[in-house]
Amino acid sequence: MFYNVVRRAIQTHIKNVNKFQIVRLSSSSPGGVKDDIKDALDIEANLFDNSMVQHQPVSTREALRKHKPTLISKQKREPNKKKDTAADTTATPAPVKKTAPVPPVKRAPTPLIKDSELNLEFLRLTLQDPLMSTLLTEVRSRKRHDKNKQIIVEGRRLIQEALQSGLKMLSLFFSQKDQLALLRDQVAQAQQEQNTKIYKVPQHDLKTWSSLVTPPGLLAIFERPPPQGLQQRQDTDPLPITVVCDNIREPNNLGSIIRTCAAVPCSQVVVTHGCCDPWESKALRGGCGGQFRLPIHDDVTWEQLPLHIPAEVADTCHVFIAENNPSKTAKRAGRTVDYAELDQTGAHNVLIIGGESHGVSDDAYSFMKLVGDRGKCVYIPLAAGIDSLNVASALTLILFELRKKLINKTND
Ligand SMILES: C[S@@+](CC[C@H](N)C(=O)[O-])C[C@H]1O[C@@H](n2cnc3c(N)ncnc32)[C@H](O)[C@@H]1O
């Protein structure tokens, strides 16, 4: 179609030249007219030649190489991705030009600042410094089962909690000196004893990496506590209670559950496979440091759960399911008790709490069956028309009632 347009334009041009020559005939030689027509024909031929050159099919690869260099490099990185085969069949292989290797850009050394006022040493990073993104990407991008090495903790209060609980702080990023000053003593101690690296970074970078709408200005990478918890002695002895989370999908809820368990305090929390990550930022915020205070076993399957019950009390262990749904308890038989009348407790007690959408799972009921008569459903009576409480609220009520019973039992 394009050729036709050009051809018509050239033909019009030739006609005009002819007309012009007719007018000029008297003053020019016959050879001159011929020359002009020849010129016009040459122009036409050249134009078509050129247009042919321009419209030769170009390989997709070559086009991408010229116009979208990033796309090509992406394809190279993902060689298994399907290529545009339709385009490639018509393509002529493009000669691969050898380009000289680009020398690595030399970065200016990061200045070390010795702050005499705070008595701290830190490195000042530039905007979008690759060092910060490398460290944080590594923590964030790890798969969950590999994540057991490091966690990201944001905000002064939570960082302080982590330090007080004895967690090892690997790196600390701050944007303003006054925020760092609020933690000066603990940070100085961590720098001396744990060789914590401190970085001053632009507020923009903290905003980029923060999981909060308003970044609190302090962000740290800590070593995650081991599943058996930190060796630090608690002031209060934990009660013989294991809380099992069954399909808890909301990090805020999981955080609140862990916070309550740490407040009782329970012996441990088991987070079964299918729950959200108890170490992700929102869960840590919801936990307010609870995660640092008691053992948390994450991503545990129902088959593995018995291994987490202390062996010496396994035979006398009681299992309670917090159940809001009376039709479920009726179907599965077994005893159902009002949470305020929980009179029979064991040397160890497992309390299972269900997920936000589907409640307690079939796996949980199968687990309860393993202990026979020592398994019960526990419910909190609610006003007509209200189906259930929020999972963390329900757990809090049942746990504190259970605590009362266990303490009374010990005193008796
Ligand atoms: C929000 S509820 C689950 C609601 C779910 N749609 C259902 O009907 O099963 C989450 C969990 O909190 C606990 N829960 C909530 N209200 C309760 C109640 N009144 N008594 C006992 N447990 C309760 C249960 O473990 C429940 O599985």
Domains of the chain: 112-223 (3.30.1330.30), 239-411 (3.40.1280.10)
Mutate to test the pocket of ligand 1, among 252, 389, 398, 400 (most ligand atoms within 8 A of CB): 389
Q: Which of 378, 388, 389, 395 to mutate to test the pocket of ligand 1 (most atoms within 8 A of CB)?
A: 388
The pocket around ligand 1, CB under 6 angstroms, is made up of 322-325, 353-354, 356-357, 359-360, 379-380, 382, 387-389, 391, 394
- For residues 94 and 62, the answer to whether their CB atoms sit within 8 Å is yes
**Of 361, 373, 350, 299, which is closest to residue 325 (Cα–Cα)?**
361
Q: Across the beta sheet with 218-223, what order do the strands follow?
A: 112-115, 120-124, 197-200, 169-174, 218-223, 150-154
Ligand 1 atom at minimum distance from 391 CA: 12
**CA separation for the pair 284, 261 (Å, rounded):** 14
CA of 68 to the centre of ligand 1 (A): 54
pLDDT of 212 reads 86
Query: How far does residue 389's CA lie from ligand 1's centre (Å)?
Result: 6
pLDDT band at 153 (very low <50, low <70, confident <90, very high): very high
How many whole angstroms separate alpha carbon 350 and alpha carbon 352? 6
Of 173, 219, 170, which is closest to residue 193 (Cα–Cα)?
170
User: Could you tell me if 226 and 154 are in contact, meaning their C-beta atoms sit under 8 angstroms apart?
Assistant: no
SS (H, E, C) the chain: CHHHHHHHHHHHHHHHHHHHHHHHCCCCCHHHHHHHHHHHHHHHHHHHHHHHHHCCCCCHHHHHHHHCHHHHHHHHHCCCCCCCHHHHHCCCCCCCCCCCCCCCCCCCCCCEEEECCCCEEEEECCCCCHHHHHHHHHHHHCCHHHCCCEEEEECHHHHHHHHHCCCCEEEEEECCHHHHHCCHHHHHHHHHHHCCEEEECCHHHHHHHCCCCCCCCEEEEEECCCCCCCCCCCCCCCEEEEEEECCCCCHHHHHHHHHHHHHCCEEEEEEEECECCCCCHHHHHHHCCHHHCCCEEEEECCCCHHHHCCHHHHHHCEEEEECCCHHHHHHCCCEEEEHHHCCCCCCCEEEEECECCCECCHHHHHHHHCCHHHEEEEECCCCCCCCCCCHHHHHHHHHHHHHHHHHHHHHC
Label residues 110-144 b or e (16+ Cβ within 10 Å = b): eeeeeeeebebebbebeeebebbeebbeebeeeee
Distance CA(285)–CA(216), nearest Å, equals: 12
In this predicted model, what pLDDT tens digit does every residue of 335-387 receive, in sequence order? 899 999 988 999 999 999 999 999 999 999 999 999 999 999 999 999 999 99
pLDDT digits 0-9 by tens, 99-128: 777 776 666 677 888 988 888 999 999 998
Task: Please answer whether residues 376 and 335 qualify as being in contact, where contact means their C-beta atoms are separated by less than 8 angstroms.
Answer: yes
The pair of three-digit structure tokens given for residue 97, joined into one six-digit string: 């030009």
Instruction: Return the residue whose CA atom lies nearest to atom 3 of ligand 1.
Output: 359
pLDDT tens, residue by residue, 267-294: 999 999 999 999 999 999 999 999 999 9
Question: Whose CA is closest to atom 5 on ligand 1?
Answer: 359
Query: Binning pLDDT at 50, 70 and 90, where does residue 162 land?
Result: very high
Which residue, judged by its Cα, is nearest atom 4 of ligand 1?
359
Span 70-98, mean pLDDT?
Answer: 49
Complex ipTM value: 0.98
- What is the average per-residue pLDDT within 213-228? 90
Q: What local confidence, expressed as pLDDT, does residue 35 receive?
A: 54
- Mean pLDDT for 193-219 is 92
Residue 92, pLDDT > 90, answer no
CA of 292 to the centre of ligand 1 (A): 27
Closest atom of ligand 1 to 354 CA is: 27
Within 10 angstroms of residue 166's Cβ, the number of other Cβ atoms is 11
Q: What is the pLDDT, as a whole number, of residue 236?
A: 81
Phi-psi region of 333 (alpha: psi -120 to 50; beta: other; left: phi over 0): left
258 C-beta neighbours (distance < 10 Å), count: 29
pLDDT exceeds cutoff 60 at 48: no
Mean pLDDT of the chain: 80
Query: 365 alpha carbon to ligand 1 midpoint, in Å?
Result: 14
pLDDT for the residue numbered 77: 45
Task: Summarize the confidence of residues 212-241 as an average pLDDT.
Answer: 85
pLDDT above 90 covers a percentage of the chain that reads 54
Q: Whose C-alpha lies nearest to ligand 1, atom 12?
A: 391
**How remote is the CA of residue 211 from the centroid of ligand 1, in Å?**
29
- Distance between Cα 395 and ligand 1 center (Å): 9
- pLDDT attached to residue 367: 96
394 Cα to the center of ligand 1, angstroms: 7
Adjacent-strand bridge partners of 219: 154, 173
- The rounded Å distance from CA 323 to ligand 1 centre is 6
CA of 260 to the centre of ligand 1 (A): 17
- From 243, 247, 360, 391, give the residue whose CB has the most ligand 1 atoms within 8 Å, as the site to mutate: 391
Residue nearest to atom 9 of ligand 1 (CA): 359
Q: For residues 361, 367, 373 and 379, what is the CA-based torsion angle, rounded to 10 degrees?
A: -30
Q: What is the pLDDT of residue 141?
A: 76
Give the pTM: 0.73
pLDDT above 90 for 333: no
Cα(6) to centroid of ligand 1, in Å?
76
Q: Report the nearest atom of ligand 1 relative to the CA of 360.
A: 27
What separation in Å is there between the alpha carbon of 293 and the centre of ligand 1? 26
Lowest-pLDDT range of 104-108, 246-250, 319-323, 389-393 = 104-108
Q: How many Cβ atoms from other residues are within 10 Å of residue 56's Cβ?
A: 7
CA–CA dist 124, 128 (Å, integer): 12
Question: Residue 71, Cβ neighbours under 10 Å: how many?
Answer: 13
Ligand 1 atom with the shortest distance to the CA of 328: 9
Q: How many angstroms does the Cα of residue 388 sit away from the middle of ligand 1?
A: 5
